[in-house]
Amino acid sequence: MRRLPLLAAASALLLAAGACAPGTNDQPAAPGENKKVTLTLNWVPYGEHAPFYYGLDKGFYQAEGIDLTIKAGGGSGKTIQAVAQQQTEFGWADTPPLLKAITTGMKVKSVGVFLQKGPSSVEFLSDKNITKISDLKGKTVGGTPGDAMYATFPALLKANGVDPAEVKVVNVDAAGKIAALAEGKVDAIQGFFHDQAPTIEAKTGKKVDHLLFADFGLNLLGTGLVVHDDTLAKDPELVKAFVRATQKSWAEAAKDIPAAAAAMEKLAENEPAKDVLVKQLTLCLPLVDAAAPGVNAEAKWTETIDLMTKHAELKDPGAPSKYWSGTYAAKG
C-alpha cells in the first residue's frame, strides 16, 4: 500500500494523541522544524483532490513551513465536524453543509472556496437524450435526502418551468447513486458530475452527460478550505501559509494535469484508476477561477446564502462574514 512519505506514522501518533487532547497540534514547531498539519478531505481521494497531492509532492507546503498529512474523509459534514472538534487543522468541504453547520453553532469558517461554480448536477447516460431541465418530465431521478442538491432540486425544476410533481424523485443513499444509474434503476441522479461521471463511464463503458444546476439558475458555491475559529485567532500566519501553498498547488496542477494525477497516484490510497482520475480533474478545473484560486466575491456567498435560506431551510442566515473570511486567499 502506498503511504505519504515518512510523515504518515508520526502524524498518526499525533492524531491519536489529539483525539484525547484537542488542540495538541496548536503547539508551535521547534526552530528549524516544519509545522505538522493535517488536511481532511471531503471524501475518499478522487480527481478533485489531485492538486493537494501535487503540492505535497512538489514541496509547495514544505516551502511554507508545513509538514502536511492528507486524510480521506467520509462526507463534507463529517469533515466539518472534525474541524469543529479540532481533530484536524484544515478541512476540504462543500459550502452548503458548512453553512448549516455554522448556523448550528460549530466554530468553523471558510477561508476560501475553490470550486466557485458549484458542481451540483443532474447526471444521466447519454442515450437518455436529456438536454435541458424540462426533459426530466416523466423521468425518475435518484437523490439523497439531507444534501443541498436534494433540497434545491424542486427549485431547479420550478425555475425551468417544470412542476416538481412531473418528476419522480427516488431516495438513494450517497454511496448507492452510481450503482443506481449504472444499473438503470433510475433515469438520472443528483450528484457531482466531475466525480461520478468518469466513474460511471469506467464501470459501464457508456458516455454520461450532465446538466449543471449553476447553468440553469441555481449556483451554490462548491468545495473549499474550512478552519476552526481558534486556529484563525491563534495562528493566522499558519492559515495564510496553508492557503498560499494550496493556491499554488491548484494553479500549478492546472498547468500539468498528468503530473498532478501521477503525484496523487504515488501518494494517495484507494484513489481511482489514473484515467478516471485525469478525467475527474479535467472536468473539475473549469469550476475554479484559474486566475485566482480560492479568491471569492462576496456576491457569490450572498447568492448561496439566499438560495439555501429559500430552499434548504437555512435558519438565521446572516451575512457572508458569518461563514467566510476573505482575508486569507490573496490574488496573484
Q: What is the pLDDT of residues 67-82, one digit of tens each?
A: 999 999 999 999 999 9
Cα separation, 264 vs 284, in Å, equals: 15
Could you tell me where the beta strands, DSSP code E, fall in the chain? 35-40, 66-71, 90-94, 108-113, 120-125, 140-143, 168-171, 188-192, 208-212, 223-228
Q: What is the CATH number of the domain that holds 175?
A: 3.40.190.10
Q: What is the pLDDT of residue 16?
A: 37
Q: What is the pLDDT of residue 28?
A: 52
Q: Is the same domain home to 283 and 300?
A: yes
Q: What is the pLDDT of residue 21?
A: 35
Given a cut of 50, whether residue 13 has pLDDT beyond it is no
In a domain, residue 1? The reply is: no
Average pLDDT over residues 108-133: 97
Q: Is the same domain home to 42 and 85?
A: yes
Given a cut of 60, whether residue 19 has pLDDT beyond it is no
**Residues 322 and 102 sit within 8 Å (Cβ to Cβ):** yes
Average pLDDT over residues 44-50: 97
Q: Is the same domain home to 112 and 126?
A: no
In a domain, residue 330? The reply is: no
In a domain, residue 249? The reply is: yes
Q: Is the same domain home to 173 and 232?
A: no
In a domain, residue 86? The reply is: yes
Q: Is the same domain home to 177 and 244?
A: no
Q: Is the same domain home to 182 and 231?
A: no
| Domain end among 216, 233, 254 | 216
Q: Which residue has the cell 505538522?
A: 36
Number of domains making up the chain: 2
Given a cut of 70, whether residue 31 has pLDDT beyond it is no
Per-residue pLDDT band at 27 (split at 50, 70, 90) = low
| Domain end among 194, 216, 238 | 216
3-state secondary structure of 87: coil
Q: Is the same domain home to 109 and 230?
A: yes
Q: Is the same domain home to 55 and 179?
A: no
In a domain, residue 207? The reply is: yes
Q: What is the pLDDT of residue 23?
A: 41
Give tens-digit pLDDT for 160-183: 999 999 999 999 998 899 999 999
Give tens-digit pLDDT for 202-231: 999 999 999 999 999 999 999 999 999 999
| Domain end among 200, 216, 232 | 216
Domain span at residue 62 reads 7-117+221-322
Given a cut of 60, whether residue 25 has pLDDT beyond it is no
The pTM of this model reads 0.89
Q: What is the pLDDT of residue 175?
A: 83
Q: Is the same domain home to 231 and 111?
A: yes
Cα separation, 223 vs 294, in Å, equals: 10
Q: What is the pLDDT of residue 38?
A: 98
Backbone CA torsion sign across 271, 251, 262, 287: positive
Cα separation, 180 vs 282, in Å, equals: 25
In a domain, residue 234? The reply is: yes
In a domain, residue 327? The reply is: no
In a domain, residue 84? The reply is: yes
Q: How many degrees, rounded to 5, is the angle at CA 246 between CA 147 and CA 110?
A: 40
Phi, psi angle pair for 288, to nearest 5°: -105, 140
Q: What is the pLDDT of residue 54?
A: 98
Q: Is the same domain home to 310 and 165?
A: no
Residue type, 114: F
Q: Is the same domain home to 255 and 294?
A: yes
Q: Is the same domain home to 225 and 314?
A: yes
Give tens-digit pLDDT for 308-328: 999 999 999 999 999 999 999
Give tens-digit pLDDT for 72-119: 999 999 999 999 999 999 999 999 999 999 999 999 999 999 999 999
